Structure 1
Amino acid sequence: MTLWLAVPLALLLLVIVLVMSSSIHFHFRLCRIGKDDRIEFDIKALFGLVKFHYELPKLIYEGIARGVRVKLEESGIAPVTREADSVERIDDETLRDWRDKLKEALQATQGLKRWMKNLLSHVRITRLDWSTDFSLGDAAYTATATGALSGLKWGLVGWISRYVRLQRSPRMFVVPVFRDDELCFSTEAVCTGKLPVSSVFYAGIQLLWRVIRVKGGLSRWIRLLKNKS
């Protein structure tokens, strides 16, 4: 009996160790060429046994009042495979709803901002490439804007590096296209990284503890999760 009990426990312990020693890998790609936009986001976990792919093949701006219409394509390989496409509109009402939910989450959690910073500090960025080609229709204006855009991009990278760890120097490219009387713009950003499962597990326990310490925090979070749509 002791041996039959020890073997399953040993296997269970081995699985737990393997899971906790693994990482969640992610890949993000944003591409805009002319009027064509595409955003892709991939997540892999448990040594590739769990995979999710999210894609935004369309971003259509419909004016200030109607906002932006997006099409989301989702697919995955997991214990439960799910495939779904949806079209949503992001307008002023959507942004106000997001703001209200964020405010509710902050009030229902003790130190949510600090918790988020601690979690992001464990993110490792293994690749960050961002190239941009553009023309303002005038050679002088294009040359001047090249330096400003390059500084803006490096400033953004510096701000990101305050929260996550860059394991490799980013590659930033700004290429001026000298075309008279012709406006053009194209950009592509690729970011890959990983987050240890152990850090996610520990952060989940911390989040639950921070929520419980706030009066009514757990019930407010349950309500937020039910109304996430």
Structure 2
Amino acid sequence: MFFLLLVLGLFVLFIFVIWFTTLRIEMVFKREQGNDRGEVIISAWGGLFRYRLAIPQLQWEGIDQGMKVESQAKLESNVDGAATKATQKKADVMVNKRKIKKMKESYRELVENISFFHQTIRWFLSKVTCEKLVWKTRIGTGDAAEAGILTGVAWTVKSTLVGWVSQYIKWRQPPELYVDPQFQTPVIETHLHSIIHFKIGHAIIGIKRLLFHMRKGRVR
């Protein structure tokens, strides 16, 4: 009996810890001199748990073929100051018109099959906090007039995206947006660094709400 109570207590403690655990997601993308590099780091418990997804290369294959994304993932842990690597895998993904169309169809099915889908997503986003957002861009074609036009377009795109996201998430500090026009040199470079966090319990509640509002008889 004591053993069962001990197991039950440990299980409840584990659920409690997981529920209030903050998941931190750091995203970095750089494009410099034609080279692309991206990285997503998911961590918890002060870095004791860390999952790293590296994107060392983005290769444009053409309009029909789309973009080839090479990624490398590994799970890391840090115990007593010693970092260990548990798993590692590599994968290549092609992002083309067929893949995008399939994603749009899947999204449409979700909206049709789950009531209050957008409301639930907005509720979850309201629990997300952005610790940091720095987005720098250097752009130019070698022509001053074209550089001015592209600079305006870049500012519009950035402001629109950040303004849309700001309706839902919280900011720990204001986002930093920069556009550096290059009037003499043709160049397209960008650097995006973002850090967000949320509690796993809020994600669990969001998933439970989606499952609860899933319409019976529809494809799960």
Query: What is the TM-score when the length of structure 2 is the normalising length?
Result: 0.85
Measured in 2, the distance between the counterparts of 1:128 and 1:13 equals: 36
Residues 1:202 and 1:157: Cα distance change in structure 2 (over 3 Å): same
Q: Give the C-alpha shift of residue 73 in structure 1.
A: 1.1
Aligned length, in residue pairs: 213
Query: Partner residue of 2:108?
Result: 103
Measured in 1, the distance between the counterparts of 2:52 and 2:15 equals: 26
2:66 is equivalent to residue 67 of structure 1: yes
Query: Partner residue of 1:57?
Result: 56
2:139–2:150 Cα contact (<8 Å) kept = no
Measured in 2, the distance between the counterparts of 1:13 and 1:215 equals: 31
2:119 is equivalent to residue 123 of structure 1: no
2:140–2:186 Cα contact (<8 Å) kept = yes
- The one-letter code matched in structure 1 to 2:193 is V
Residues 1:142 and 1:96: Cα distance change in structure 2 (over 3 Å): closer
DSSP-derived class of the 2:52 partner: strand
Deviations 1:37-85 (A, max 9, x none): 112111113553432111221111111111111112111137x943211
Measured in 1, the distance between the counterparts of 2:65 and 2:149 equals: 35
Unaligned runs of 5+ in 2: 78-84
Residues 1:103 and 1:155: Cα distance change in structure 2 (over 3 Å): closer
2:129–2:170 Cα contact (<8 Å) kept = yes
RMSD: 2.4
Percent identity between the aligned chains?
23
Q: Give the C-alpha shift of residue 135 in structure 1.
A: 2.2
2:140–2:150 Cα contact (<8 Å) kept = no
Query: Partner residue of 1:42?
Result: 41
Measured in 2, the distance between the counterparts of 1:90 and 1:143 equals: 31
Measured in 2, the distance between the counterparts of 1:154 and 1:96 equals: 27
1:19–1:46 Cα contact (<8 Å) kept = no
Q: Aligned ranges for residues 163-182 of structure 1 at < 5 Å?
A: 163-179=168-184, 182=185
Measured in 1, the distance between the counterparts of 2:106 and 2:44 equals: 28
Measured in 2, the distance between the counterparts of 1:19 and 1:151 equals: 40
DSSP-derived class of the 1:198 partner: helix
Measured in 1, the distance between the counterparts of 2:186 and 2:157 equals: 20
DSSP-derived class of the 2:62 partner: coil
2:25–2:40 Cα contact (<8 Å) kept = yes
Measured in 2, the distance between the counterparts of 1:145 and 1:169 equals: 24
Query: Partner residue of 1:227?
Result: none
- The one-letter code matched in structure 1 to 2:201 is S
Residues 1:88 and 1:145: Cα distance change in structure 2 (over 3 Å): closer
Q: Give the C-alpha shift of residue 136 in structure 1.
A: 2.5
